[in-house]
Structure formats: C-alpha cells, structure tokens
Homo-oligomer: A and B are copies of this chain.
Amino acid sequence: MVVPTARSRCEDERITAFGMLLEAHAAVTSVVNRELEATAGMPITWFELLIRLSRSPEQRLRMSELAGQVGLSHSGLTRLVDRVIEAGFVQREACPDDRRGAFAVLTPAGGAALDSALDGHLESIDRHLVTPLGPEGLARLTDLLRTLRDASPTGASPSSACPTGPSPA
C-alpha cells in the first residue's frame, strides 16, 4: 500500500502510451509531410483534403463534413479550402437544398494533382509506416487507431461517409 508519489506516477504506463502517440505521430508525419512537399509540392493537409473528396460521391463534400474528416475547425477548413481553390484543385458550389451550405468539389486539375502525388506518397508511407511495422503490425495498428477514433466524441461519427475506411469486418 504505497502512496504514489508524483515521481512514480510520471512513469505511469498511461502517460507513456499517450506520449508515444504524440511522438510517433510527430515523427512520422513530419517526415512524410516533408517528402510529400518535396515530391508533389503539396502539404499533407492538401493531400488529405483532396483524397477525401475523391472518395466521396460526385467528388464533393459539405464543408462541415469535410472539416470533421480532416480534423479541422470550421474556420480552419474555410481558409484551407480557400488556398486549395486558389491552386485550382477545388471549387465551391452552392447547396441547392440548404442555402446556408456549401460544397467543396474536386476539379479535374485536383484529381490529376492527387493522382500524380499518390505514387510518391505511397512509397513514403511504405518507408515510414509499413516497413518498420510489417504487414501484420500495420493491420493491428490500423485497427487500434480506428477504435480510438471511433471512441472519440470529436470528429466524424463512425457511420458517416467513409472516413478513411469504413471499418472492414
């Protein structure tokens, strides 16, 4: 019956797990982002935005839905879409059913940009995610992370659209 000291509590496995999530994410994304920027001249946020649109019916998504999927605030998404529109990869379209709403729609140029970025990006992910983990580890990690995402109150609900893979099984 030892009283936990601050020191001992700092070694808690929960703290470790959380810290690991931060570190692994920072390590992987910073490298992958750098490589994507080098090979495709496009930040990772753009890529994630474009791929969500490309996977959606009619290559379009409501702003709010998109914000949820890429994990940005509404205002953050507005600015991001502004920049991507400026590049010609996306265009805004009014929503006929709800005059408040707006769609972000993938343009042909956007589709082409995504396509040409894809190979390098896949290679990059291979290097920094697949190779270290192995195919089996990758599958387990994906599963665990999906559980986390779906358990979180934030973001897109598990049922909505296809937020990066609608769960296998």
Evaluate contact between A26 and B164: CB separation under 8 angstroms. no
Q: Given that A6-B54, A10-B54, A114-B6 are contacting pairs, would A21 and B28 also be in contact in the complex, using a CB cutoff of 8 Å?
A: yes
Cβ of A165 within 8 Å of any chain B Cβ, yes or no, is yes
Within 8 A of B (CB), among A22-63: 22-32, 44, 48, 51, 54-55
A138 lies within 8 A of chain B by Cβ: yes
Instruction: Let me know if A25 and B19 touch, CB within 8 A.
Output: no
For the complex, give the distance between the alpha carbons of A152 and B146 in Å.
22
The chain A residues found within 8 Å of chain B, CB to CB, are 6-7, 9-32, 44, 48, 51, 54-55, 69, 71, 111, 114-115, 118, 121-122, 125-126, 128-133, 137-142, 144-149, 151-155, 163-165
